[in-house]
Amino acid sequence: MDPKYQRVALNDGHFMPVLGFGSYAPPEVPRNRVVEVTKLAIEAGFRHIDSAYLYNNEEQVGLAIRSKIADGSVKREDIFYTSKLWCTFFRPQLVQPALESSLKKLQLDYVDLYLIHFPMALKPGETPLPKDENGKVMFDTVDLCAIWEAMEKCKDAGLAKSIGVSNFNRRQLEMILNKPGLKYKPVCNQVECHPYLNQSKLLDFCKSKDIVLVAHGSRTQRRQTMCKATGSLPKMPWVDQNSPALLEDPVLCALAKKHKRSPALIALRYQLQRGVVVLAKSYNEQRIRENVQVFEFQLTWEDMKVLDDLNRNFRYVAMDM
Ligand code: NAP
Ligand code: WDW
């Protein structure tokens, strides 16, 4: 089998390709571009595609997947597609309808993986980040275990082959793992993870519970925060120019030079060699093609140690609300 299609066994018997395509692009990117880049990603060899209700691109990602199936390039079972339950749909009776609405946009019969996007319930409704008249975010209170039971029903209904979580800490994972009558464990926890925030403690915990850690933001360049004015995903992310630029890190750059690969590729390879599944977003054809080269080289034990030492618990996506 082509190394590009390397997969990891999940704790429910399904398999996840270890390299995933990150499909998120901000709203100013034309939606037909989403269709083009998703097709390019599949053509380049990506078989795992990460999206979410929140990304407002499931129609286009679904169209791209179906068109690569229709032209005979792939079969549905070759593709691993992830969607995520947004925080305004956490009331247990809203969970399955939310997944059904994603499937309708995608025009697919099932998702391979459905994740709880972020462990913070928001007031139900159409607005992704609901605010009151004073501009304060309106939260909701829902028991994580009750959401999880609704997620389990989605798996039993065959709408999601696997279920998992995202942006959970150890305490939040334990709330689910310790739930009386737990039917399915989360297969993964998708979190921000890169050499400046390597999540080594959370990774050890996840490994001990047979939960895969999936890295997002593995090459994020500058700190971004959600747009406070619109209370939604930013038109232009507010970017902190004082945050350290991972891809300019001298140690990362020296390793890049040594291996004749880009710093971005070293940051991807680092995750694979420590048993982390890694997402790679790019909307640039050349970089999409470059990112699958992560399977073409190896870091030494010493390289890995040097990268581990870069950790500084620096979070690029500041959830400051
Ligand atoms: P990323 O994959 O590390 O990408 C960061 C930036 O790196 C991209 O904007 C991309 O710009 C650039 N890049 C990509 N390949 C490159 C290369 N070979 N050389 C140089 N630069 C390169 O980080 P991310 O976009 O933050 O996250 C990836 C995916 O994770 C998202 O698309 C989304 O699916 C998921 N995610 C999930 C959550 C969550 O809450 N669960 C949060 C954040 C992200 P270009 O497009 O210009 O190439
Ligand atoms: C919580 C979790 C917003 C947005 C977001 C809140 C979140 C994301 C880059 C890629 C998210 C940043 C995609 C935005 C309040 N996660 N993306 O997945």
**pLDDT tens string 118-168:** 999 999 998 999 999 999 999 999 999 999 999 999 999 999 999 999 999
For residue 290, give the ligand nearest its CA: 1
pLDDT > 50? residue 236: no
Helical spans, DSSP H, in the chain: 31-44, 58-70, 92-106, 144-156, 170-177, 200-208, 250-259, 263-273, 285-291, 301-308
Q: Which of 3-7, 112-116, 231-235, 250-254 has the lowest mean pLDDT?
A: 231-235
Closest-approaching ligand to the CA atom of 220? 1
**Is pLDDT at 204 greater than 60 in this prediction?**
yes
d(CA 63, ligand 1 centre) in Å: 21
Using CB distances shorter than 6 Å, the residues near ligand 2 are: 24, 52, 54, 117-118, 167, 226, 317, 319
- Catalytic residue ranges: 55
Give residues with Cβ within 8 angstroms of 14, minimum separation 6.
Answer: 112, 161, 162, 187
Cα–Cα–Cα angle for 124, 150, 60, nearest 5°?
65
pLDDT of residue 18 exceeding 70, the answer is: yes
Encode 209-221: b = buried (16+ Cβ within 10 Å), e = exposed.
eebbbbbbbbbbe
- Cβ(34)–Cβ(8) below 8 Å: no
pLDDT digits (tens, 9 = 90+) for 54-101: 999 999 999 999 999 999 999 999 999 999 999 999 999 999 999 999
CA of 21 to the centre of ligand 1 (A): 9
CB 33 within 8 A of CB 63: no
Question: pLDDT class for 242, splitting at 50, 70, 90?
Answer: confident
Q: Tell which one of 23, 53, 55, 118 to mutate to probe ligand 2, the residue whose CB is within 8 A of the most ligand atoms.
A: 118
List pocket residues of ligand 1, CB cut-off 6 Å. 22-24, 50, 117-118, 166-167, 190, 216-220, 262, 264, 279-284, 287, 290-291, 317
The alpha carbon of 257 and the centre of ligand 2 are apart by a number of angstroms equal to 32
Q: Is the pLDDT higher at 115 or at 317?
A: 115
Matching residue, tokens 């990460």 = 50
Residue of 84, 265, 281 with the most ligand 1 atoms within 8 Å of its CB, for mutation: 281
Query: Closest Cα to residue 255, out of 217, 289, 222, 300?
Result: 300
Quick one: pLDDT at residue 227? 47
